[in-house]
Chain A
Amino acid sequence: MAVIRDVMPAFELFQPANVEEALSLLNRYKSDAWVMAGGLDSFDWLKDRIKRPKVVVDLVGVKELEGVRASGDGLEIGAMTTLTDLVRHPLVREKFGMLLEAAEAAASPQIRNQGTIGGNVSQDTRCWYYRDGWECYRAGGNICYADTPTAMNREHAIFDADRCVAVNPSDTAPALIALDAKMVIRSTSGEQIVDAEHYFIGPGIDITRMTVLKPGDLLVAIRIPGTWAGSQFYFEKVRDRKVWDFPLVNVASVMKTSGGTIQDLRLALNGVAAHPVRLRAVEAAVRGKPRNEQTAEMAGLMAIEGAKPLRHNGYKLPLVRNLVKRAIRGVEGSWTS
C-alpha cells in the first residue's frame, strides 16, 4: 500500500559505464534488477515501496546511450537521450516535427531535462489502483479494481481490455509508431530490432508488462527511418488541464497526399488501451480517398468501432472520433506541423 513517500527501501545500486557492463548486470540479476533511466517514474515506485528491487541499474553513466545521430536518411536516437535534447535537435525539428511536438507535450521543461525517450516509451501505467500497490492483475493478483461496478475508471481503456483496463500513458509512443520507428533491444544473448508498434504489449499477452522487454533486456536506441521525413504530421494530446499532465487520449498521424488525395498514412492513438493502438483499418479505408470532411468523418466513426467503454470513460468515444477526424482533416494551429 502506498503510504510512505520519504525513504526508499535499501537496494544495491550499480552505475555501469557502458552498455556491456549494464547488460552483464541485467543478465546477472534478471528480475531482481530495476533499470533506471531518468528516474522520474522509478523514484515514485521506489519511494512508495510498491516496487522493491534488490538491485537498481542506473544508466546515467552510459554515455553511448545518449544523443541523436543521423542514420541514412533517418535518425537513431539513443535511449538515454533526454526529451529536451530531442526537442532541441535540429534533425528532429527538420525531419520529424511531430516527434518534437509529442516529446514537448509529454512533460514540463524541468521533467524534460531529466526524462529520457527510452523511459518515456517504457514507463508503467498510471492506473492508481495499481500504483497504490493493490494486488491487482498487473501486480500479480487476480482482480482488476478499476473494472468493477463501483470503480473509478475515467482514464482507463476503451479498447483491448483483457482483465486489466489500464492504459499506456506515453506521448512519444504513438508518434514513434506513426513514424514506423524501430526499437533496438539488446541483451547478453544479442540484439533484436522490434517495430515500435510491436514493442508495446497488452494484458492479453502479458498482464504484468507493458513492453516486450524481458528481464535482462535493455532498450538501447530508437531508429526512425526516413520514409516519412517531411510528411504531413498531426499530433494532438487531450489532457485534463492545460498544464503538464498525462494524456486522456492522444493521436499521431503521418500522411502523404497528392492533389488532395491521401496516398499513404499511418495513424496511432494512445491513452485508450494498455498499448498504443495503430488504426490499421482506418488507414486502409482512407488510403486513396480525398482528404476532406467526408473522409475524416468516416475515419472518426471507424476509429471507435469495437470500443467498449467502462462506466466512467464513455467520453473517450467522441474524443477519439473527433481526434481522428482532425488528424485526417488536418487542422491549422497548435500541434500540427
Chain B
Amino acid sequence: MDFLKWGRSPWGEDILIRISWDLLYLSAIGGVLFLIGHALYVRFWPQPVPEKGDAATTAALAARIPERVARHSVAARAFHWVMAAAMFVLLFSAFLPIVGVKFAWVTIHWIAGVILTLSIIYHTVHATFWLDFWSIWPEKGDIEDSRRRMLRGVGQSAPAPRKHGKYPLENKLYHLIILITGLAVIGTGVFMMKRVQTPFFTRNPYLFTDQAWGVMYVAHGLAGVGLVALVMAHVYFAIRPEKLWITYSMIFGWIDRGHYLEHHDPQRWNVARPVPPPPPDEDAAKGRRIAV
C-alpha cells in the first residue's frame, strides 16, 4: 500500500500530489476497531467502583449545588452544533465521491469550510473572553489522575484519582487533537481555495511551488482522514448510554446535581452557591440596641 501519491511536473520533477485514499479506509477501519474494542472493554471488563465521599460532607455540599448545573451557554452550544454540521458536510462532501457517490462536491465543500472557519474564529474569541479559557486545556495533575484511573481501570490498585474539573481529561485531549487537525485542514484549505473558483480569490495555482502545494494537499488529506476516525469516536461516545448526560448537556445546557456530584470535583469546578451568612443573634442584637 502506498501512503502518498506522487506525480511528475512539466519540469520533470517528482512532486507530491496527495495522500493515498487507502488511508481513508485505514482510518475508518481503525475507528471501527477502536469502537468495538472499547465497547467490549466496557461490556466485559469489571469497571472500577467510584469512590464514595463522606455522606455528611456530600449532603452539605449537595444542598449548595443547584438542581441544574449550567455547563454550556447558548453561545457555546450554538458553536458546537454549527461546527458539527459543517464538519459532517465537509467529511461527506470530501469522501463520498472517493467511495463512489459522485456529485458536484467542490462548492459544497468550500462553503462548509468557510462556515467552519468562521465558527472557529467565533469560538476562539468567545472562549478567550467569555468562558473559563483554561478549563479545557490539560494540566499537570491530569496526568497523575489519568495514570491512577488507567491502573484502576485494568484492575490494579492505585490511589483514587481526583474527580474531574469541568472537563474530563478525555474531553481535553479530544479538544486538543481536534484543534490540531482542525487548524491543519483550515490552514491548508484556505490556501487551496486559491486553486478553485470562489468569489473570494482569483484562481492562481502558481501561488506556491508544486512541492509546497503537494505538502499542503498531503497535510489537508492526512488531517481529513484523521477526522474521520475522530468524528466516529466522538459520535460513539456521544451516544453511549453512560455518556448521554454529557450529550444532553450540549443540547439543553445543563447537567443535573447527581451527575455533577458523581463526576466533578467542586474544588476544580465550583458551581456551589455561596454559604449564606449566619442568621443574626437576637440577644446580641438586643444588647447592641441597649448599649446604644
Count B-side interface residues using an 8 Å CB cutoff. Answer: 26
Chain A interface mostly: loop
Report the nearest B residue to A212, measured CB to CB. Answer: B102
Q: How far is the CA of A308 from the CA of B199 in the complex (A)?
A: 13
Within 8 A of A (CB), among B172-231: 195-197, 203-206, 210, 213-214, 217
Residues of chain B within 8 A (CB-CB) of A143 are 195, 205, 210, 213
> Are B102 and A142 neighbours in the complex by a CB distance under 8 Å?
no
- Knowing A147-B203, A148-B206, the reply to whether A135 touches B8 (Cβ < 8 A) is yes
- Knowing A141-B17, A148-B206, A206-B102, the reply to whether A135 touches B7 (Cβ < 8 A) is yes
* Interface assignment of B10: CB less than 8 Å from any CB of chain A: yes
Count A-side interface residues using an 8 Å CB cutoff. Answer: 22
* Interface assignment of B106: CB less than 8 Å from any CB of chain A: yes
* Interface assignment of A245: CB less than 8 Å from any CB of chain B: no
* Interface assignment of B104: CB less than 8 Å from any CB of chain A: yes
Residues of chain B within 8 A (CB-CB) of A204 are 103-107
* Interface assignment of B128: CB less than 8 Å from any CB of chain A: no
* Interface assignment of B18: CB less than 8 Å from any CB of chain A: yes
Q: How far is the CB of A138 from chain B (nearest CB, A)?
A: 13
Residues of chain B within 8 A (CB-CB) of A161 are 197
* Interface assignment of B9: CB less than 8 Å from any CB of chain A: yes
Residue from A135, A148, A202, A205 within 8 A of B9 (CB atoms) = A135
Q: How far is the CB of B102 from chain A (nearest CB, A)?
A: 5
Interface string of B82-124 (1 = CB under 8 A from A): 0000000000000001000011111100000000000000000
Q: How far is the CB of A139 from chain B (nearest CB, A)?
A: 8
Residues of chain B within 8 A (CB-CB) of A163 are 106, 195-196
> Are B213 and A149 neighbours in the complex by a CB distance under 8 Å?
no
Residues of chain A within 8 A (CB-CB) of B210 are 143
Q: How far is the CB of A217 from chain B (nearest CB, A)?
A: 13
> Are B10 and A145 neighbours in the complex by a CB distance under 8 Å?
yes
Residues of chain B within 8 A (CB-CB) of A205 are 102-104
* Interface assignment of A59: CB less than 8 Å from any CB of chain B: no
Residues of chain B within 8 A (CB-CB) of A308 are 197
Q: How far is the CB of B5 from chain A (nearest CB, A)?
A: 8
Chain A-chain B contacts (Cβ-Cβ < 8 Å), number: 54
* Interface assignment of B76: CB less than 8 Å from any CB of chain A: no
Q: How far is the CA of A141 from the CA of B6 in the complex (A)?
A: 9
Residues of chain B within 8 A (CB-CB) of A141 are 7, 17
Q: How far is the CA of A101 from the CA of B7 in the complex (A)?
A: 42
Residues of chain B within 8 A (CB-CB) of A148 are 204-206
Q: How far is the CA of A291 from the CA of B180 in the complex (A)?
A: 63
Residues of chain A within 8 A (CB-CB) of B5 are 140
Q: How far is the CA of A211 from the CA of B63 in the complex (A)?
A: 70
Residue from A1, A135, A145, A150 within 8 A of B15 (CB atoms) = A135
Residues of chain B within 8 A (CB-CB) of A1 are 8
Residues of chain B within 8 A (CB-CB) of A335 are none
Residues of chain A within 8 A (CB-CB) of B104 are 162, 202, 204-205
Q: How far is the CA of A204 from the CA of B107 in the complex (A)?
A: 9
Q: How far is the CA of A202 from the CA of B204 in the complex (A)?
A: 21
Interface string of B12-38 (1 = CB under 8 A from A): 000101100000000000000000000
Interface string of A182-214 (1 = CB under 8 A from B): 000000000000000000011011100000000
Q: List 13 A-B contacts (CB under 8 A).
A: A135-B8, A141-B7, A142-B17, A142-B18, A142-B195, A145-B10, A147-B203, A147-B205, A149-B204, A162-B196, A204-B106, A206-B97, A308-B197
- A residues with a Cβ closer than 8 A to B are 1, 134-135, 140-145, 147-150, 161-163, 201-202, 204-206, 308
**Beyond A143-B205, A149-B204, A150-B206, 18 extra complex contacts between A and B, CB < 8 Å:** A1-B8, A135-B7, A135-B17, A141-B7, A142-B17, A142-B18, A142-B217, A143-B195, A143-B210, A144-B205, A147-B203, A147-B205, A148-B205, A148-B206, A162-B106, A202-B104, A205-B102, A308-B197
